[in-house]
A and B are shown apart, each in its own frame.
Chain A
């Protein structure tokens, strides 16, 4: 087997790598220049999360953009959804978000946003790569240069767009006590003020901009102990856990217990459908509970491949208002902008409590409960195809979805087997109605996959 260091990933989700190893200023400037050529000479919104390498990367991006005749519009440290919205609000040709989202801190990435404020889709990303792969980037002469602009009120615009869509007065009246774990990310700059404007009393943890992440960015229970403690200490109704670039959200209840990322989307869907029934679009790694809730409102759920842009495109195609990615706490509400947005999500949670008069714990308790497990197996691409085909045949009489790997829905459980986009592994996700059933199905499918991957 070829032994290689997989620390540079150029693909649909942008270009990402490890700073100090593969993610060099030359690579970054060349990508920024190619992106500038791709979207055309005009404004390009540039923002970043709080990673310490962000400044270096921003300099390289700016140089690459100016050199092809684009005008970088710098928003500084800003949430990814804010950057997406700014692209639309300022009629920019595109945007670049400098963030590796939930990846560890040594990673960083360029995420490319098209003129509609959405990430590039498969086809667009391939076109961009084609430009990048040409040996020579064409640079502009100095007379075509347009300088740099800075934008200080990008989040203000974002916030106003959210507040225009919710019942701010109702939320304010409740004077919620809430805690936020900002993961030392963009939330450290904005979340306290945002929630205070919604009348909340706010307690924050991991709220430094310049100290690194201090906790692993994945919002697992064991990574949220400080949030749990502060929620209990200050008797908050709930605690929010943001990721470093502010698009995804996990939550803990008033006892400091993590409710699981799948519930973030579930609660948002319930709240929106209660007011305005309609179609829902989620990725295939999303809890069945969403279907249960949708069915109860007489609404339909459509599935999309994993990845924000896939869900967004399906959402627009179906004319759906709400959707997202259950597995990572990503809620998309198209009334603000069809992108994952933790600020929208926090606001919807507060509005849900304000309008229903129920506590967060009560709302969570009223939701359908499933148990979900995720595992991964070392697996090469040939074996992966083999496994998927085998399962497809074996369970041909069940409800099968082949959008991304294979998802098989049984009466009390579903199984998703798909190859990772980022690692040479097979991911196995199983959701069932009870712990015992999950354990049983996990052992059954693990054995099957182990057997099929045996050399």
Chain B
């Protein structure tokens, strides 16, 4: 399949058929032009194709006269952190996060380390399409250098400042982690020694090959789930390849839907932080979150889907957290991006402070059941299809912040064209799984008829 998408999540596509060195060079040259030959941090995940993209990116940036800080293989949260810490003019994050093998992406980051907002992306794409890039003279080319700081150590200090480490240490937790052979594996040891936990990492090789789908959904958690009981682990985590997302496996062996990661974190953080009760999420996050925020008397602010929008809103309204149903949370006092090391640390602190097992923590969540479907559909058809759909359900409350969503008393369905792939994403959530599934299937049938 040939696929390339230029949008809010950067340049993304199928390696060799959409993503190739020539396109990447153009995109990075546009970015080097956009930052006017300034300092750019470049970090990547461990995929084989990320190395190719890294070399193309560095060639283009140096040729623009940029100073490149080579962060090497690094988790996304650490790149968010060091971009701001080093006062860089921007960063490029190489890696397709939750997307499967054969895909890759180049994601431009702002000088504060966050995803670029749509106005900036528009400017970047204007440069890209103009093909008029900054060009340094032969004796003024940029250079690639190693960072002068120790990014991982300093990032861990930031975690330490926000987490009650002593409390966690006393518990001697046994934690199973699945890094999906991604960039998180490189920090596993440092992280566990900081928190004094006994970590049992799996899929922690730098082979560049993904052992399973990197999307942290229950089906990706089978390996962790199967060893929870034999190893008497207290909690398990399944990460994507760049540590932006995770899902939780409880000590009783239940894999929680990734939808529950953010509510779980929010439930504890709202209890801990009494002076900030503002939470940011997007329009297709589980109702569990609405209930949790209500329970703590907080306010919930909803945006369209996209990491940049969530982070921007979090900074704008000075919210405690921003997160979504993909298993991600950003912390106001942390880095300007989704951070799964921090999610893991907070969940461990919640267990320790409340003296509860992970199963007990999860039992505290009001449960809804979500069914997620992806329906192949080219973006040019998808937008029209979704517009036509809104008149079919007169009994529902319809919102069109992003795609279209229908709300009923006991459940809701959201449909939107994905920004990263040529698919329509559907989420159907009801109080029972059967009903969620039934509604989703009926909706799919309707869409297929309409097409």
A residues near B, CB below 8 A?
A: 18-21, 24-26, 28-30, 33, 52-53, 55-57, 59-60, 62-64, 66-67, 105-106, 137, 139-145, 147-148, 212
B222 at the interface (CB under 8 A from A): no
What is the bound-complex CA distance between A28 and B53, given in angstroms? 15
B195 at the interface (CB under 8 A from A): no
B136 at the interface (CB under 8 A from A): yes
What is the bound-complex CA distance between A60 and B55, given in angstroms? 6
Q: With A56-B62, A144-B16, A212-B139 given, can you name 9 additional A-B contacts, CB distance below 8 Å?
A: A26-B26, A62-B55, A67-B16, A67-B56, A105-B139, A137-B22, A139-B20, A142-B101, A145-B15
Please name 26 pairs of A and B residues whose Cβ atoms are closer than 8 Å in the assembled complex, sorted by A.
A20-B138, A25-B25, A29-B21, A29-B25, A52-B138, A53-B138, A56-B62, A56-B141, A59-B59, A60-B56, A60-B60, A63-B21, A63-B24, A63-B25, A67-B16, A67-B21, A105-B138, A139-B17, A140-B16, A141-B15, A142-B15, A142-B48, A142-B102, A145-B51, A145-B52, A212-B139
Q: Does A30 lie within 8 Å of B63, measured CB to CB?
A: no
Q: Does A145 lie within 8 Å of B48, measured CB to CB?
A: yes
B residues near A, CB below 8 A?
A: 14-17, 20-22, 24-26, 29, 47-49, 51-53, 55-56, 58-60, 62-63, 101-104, 135-141, 143-144, 208
Q: Does B104 lie within 8 Å of A56, measured CB to CB?
A: no
Our pick among B26, B55, B104, B140 for the contact of A142 (Cβ within 8 Å) is B104
- Chain A residues lying within 8 Å of B48, measured Cβ to Cβ, are 142, 145, 147
- Chain A residues lying within 8 Å of B103, measured Cβ to Cβ, are 142
What is the bound-complex CA distance between A57 and B59, given in angstroms? 7
Our pick among B22, B102, B141, B144 for the contact of A20 (Cβ within 8 Å) is B141
Beta-carbon nearest neighbor of A148 in chain B? B51
Our pick among A28, A33, A141, A142 for the contact of B47 (Cβ within 8 Å) is A142
- Chain A residues lying within 8 Å of B59, measured Cβ to Cβ, are 25, 28-29, 56-57, 59-60, 63
Known: A142-B104, A147-B208. A52 touches B141 (CB 8 A): yes
What is the bound-complex CA distance between A351 and B267, given in angstroms? 82
- Chain A residues lying within 8 Å of B62, measured Cβ to Cβ, are 55-56, 59
- Chain A residues lying within 8 Å of B208, measured Cβ to Cβ, are 145, 147
Beta-carbon nearest neighbor of A33 in chain B? B21
What is the bound-complex CA distance between A106 and B48, given in angstroms? 33
Q: Does B29 lie within 8 Å of A25, measured CB to CB?
A: yes
The majority secondary structure among interface residues of chain B is: helix
Q: Does A63 lie within 8 Å of B17, measured CB to CB?
A: no
Q: Does B138 lie within 8 Å of A64, measured CB to CB?
A: no
What is the bound-complex CA distance between A215 and B16, given in angstroms? 44
Beta-carbon nearest neighbor of B53 in chain A? A63
Q: Does A55 lie within 8 Å of B51, measured CB to CB?
A: no
Q: Shortest distance in angstroms between A217's beta carbon and chain B's nearest beta carbon?
A: 15
Q: Does A139 lie within 8 Å of B16, measured CB to CB?
A: yes
What is the bound-complex CA distance between A283 and B58, given in angstroms? 41
What is the bound-complex CA distance between A20 and B141, given in angstroms? 8
- Chain B residues lying within 8 Å of A142, measured Cβ to Cβ, are 15-16, 47-49, 101-104
Q: Does A26 lie within 8 Å of B25, measured CB to CB?
A: yes
What is the bound-complex CA distance between A26 and B60, given in angstroms? 8
Beta-carbon nearest neighbor of A107 in chain B? B138
- Chain B residues lying within 8 Å of A19, measured Cβ to Cβ, are 138, 141
Our pick among B16, B55, B139 for the contact of A59 (Cβ within 8 Å) is B55
What is the bound-complex CA distance between A141 and B47, given in angstroms? 13
What is the bound-complex CA distance between A105 and B140, given in angstroms? 12
Q: Does B138 lie within 8 Å of A63, measured CB to CB?
A: no
Among B16, B58, B60, B135, max chain A CB count under 10 A is at B16
Q: Shortest distance in angstroms between A205's beta carbon and chain B's nearest beta carbon?
A: 22
Known: A66-B51, A139-B17. A26 touches B101 (CB 8 A): no
What is the bound-complex CA distance between A192 and B181, given in angstroms? 45
- Chain B residues lying within 8 Å of A141, measured Cβ to Cβ, are 14-17, 102
What is the bound-complex CA distance between A112 and B247, given in angstroms? 50
Q: Does B25 lie within 8 Å of A20, measured CB to CB?
A: no
- Chain A residues lying within 8 Å of B141, measured Cβ to Cβ, are 19-20, 52-53, 55-56
Q: Does B138 lie within 8 Å of A18, measured CB to CB?
A: yes
Q: Does A67 lie within 8 Å of B52, measured CB to CB?
A: yes
Q: Shortest distance in angstroms between B42's beta carbon and chain A's nearest beta carbon?
A: 11
- Chain B residues lying within 8 Å of A62, measured Cβ to Cβ, are 52, 55
- Chain A residues lying within 8 Å of B16, measured Cβ to Cβ, are 67, 139-142, 144
Beta-carbon nearest neighbor of A146 in chain B? B48
Our pick among B26, B47, B52 for the contact of A63 (Cβ within 8 Å) is B52
Beta-carbon nearest neighbor of A108 in chain B? B138
Beta-carbon nearest neighbor of A25 in chain B? B59
Known: A26-B25, A63-B21, A137-B22. A147 touches B143 (CB 8 A): no
What is the bound-complex CA distance between A106 and B137, given in angstroms? 9
Closest 8 CB pairs of A and B: A63-B56, A59-B59, A60-B59, A19-B138, A63-B55, A66-B52, A63-B21, A145-B48
What is the bound-complex CA distance between A67 and B13, given in angstroms? 14
Q: Shortest distance in angstroms between A148's beta carbon and chain B's nearest beta carbon?
A: 6
Q: Does B21 lie within 8 Å of A64, measured CB to CB?
A: yes
